[in-house]
Amino acid sequence: MKSTPALLLVSTVLLSSPAWAETPNVVASIKPIHSLVASIMQGVGEPSLIVEGAASPHTYNMKPSNAAALQAAKVVFWVGPGLEIFLEKPLEALGSGARLVELSEAPGIEKLKFREGGVFEPHDDGDEHGEEGHGHGAEEASHEAHDADTHGAEAETAEHHHGHGEGEFDMHMWLDPMNAKAMAAEIGKTLAEADPANAATYQANLEKLNQRLDTLDKSLAETVAPIKDKPFVVFHDAYQYFEHRYKVRVGGSITVSPEVLPGAERLSEIHAKIEDLGATCVFAEPQFEPKLVNVVIEGTPAKSGTLDPEAATLESGPDLYFQLMENIGTSLKDCLSSAS
């Protein structure tokens, strides 16, 4: 059958149109990352998520269905070694089939050093902070000295070999919207390369996402402005990026990493810190034992609240990142403005 020019045109248009193009199989490790990817893939497809529900990335164990999803993936987005430890070996075994994107290495990401110990002194932003725009020079030294004195072997073993892997940097980078923008740019670029047929859609979605992130950044700064000088205590040390961006004051953390339960000495150190701080707030997290928070605030005027830095309680999807960040701002404001 002789193909007419019109028919040729229609088939070319059809075959190259997004609708026909095979949507790439994309996997994202944790909910905050999945949310950014889902935003950029809107109208094209949906990424699959590994750490679902209320599970914590720090204690997660791979399921056979996860391994199958990775095997079929064309692109895998994760934060990186030191956070999703459960992914390190499976990704090594994946071979070159899939494109693996470590978003902690995206251009423009600001990295903060992993913090030692349970009590943090307020850092004066005039200080020279060393690595990648921020480190903890003198403070770190004082913490290490403090740790060596008071915690000796316990601090050594517990904190350095569990949970956060052995990385140098705090891996909760998504808690700064400017880092989320850097991640979004890398996600958009990767998807456009992996799926050129939908590149225009990814680009348009990326622009919309960047506008939303700028708006979020402004509204968070307003939300926490009234309470930014009020120190508070958190469950695990996940909030440094939020703290750095909005100048709120994390006075200490009950544990460094959720699966390393704090020893009695650390709990008493935190209790002493809360007494020092006077009226303040101590924040639990949905995935972890709230009893510990009651232990450290007992007999002090401190109030308790809840923060959810890994979105354990939120529905996965494009809006999750915004709900996660707004919830942190609101929870801090609600508790600290009533802690007088």
Enumerate binding residues for Zn ion (CB under 5 A): 238
Cα 50 from Cα 52, distance rounded (Å): 6
- What is the token pair recorded at 147? 């740790």
Cα 124 from Cα 134, distance rounded (Å): 12
Instruction: Write down the least CB distance from residue 202 to Zn ion, Å.
Output: 29
266 DSSP assignment = H
- Cβ proximity to Zn ion, 195 vs 237, nearer residue: 237
Residue nearest to Zn ion (CB): 238
Instruction: Write down the least CB distance from residue 113 to Zn ion, Å.
Output: 15
Beta bridge partners, 119, equal 252
In the block, tokens 């047929």 appear at 197
Instruction: Write down the least CB distance from residue 236 to Zn ion, Å.
Output: 5
- Dihedrals φ, ψ of 119, to 5°? -115, 130
Instruction: Write down the least CB distance from residue 270 to Zn ion, Å.
Output: 17
CB 26 within 8 A of CB 101: no
- Cβ proximity to Zn ion, 24 vs 163, nearer residue: 163
- Cβ proximity to Zn ion, 26 vs 233, nearer residue: 233
- Cβ proximity to Zn ion, 238 vs 314, nearer residue: 238
Beta bridge partners, 283, equal 305
Radius of gyration of the chain (CA): 22
Residues in the chain: 340
- Cβ proximity to Zn ion, 238 vs 292, nearer residue: 238
In the block, tokens 């605030």 appear at 297
Instruction: Write down the least CB distance from residue 235 to Zn ion, Å.
Output: 9
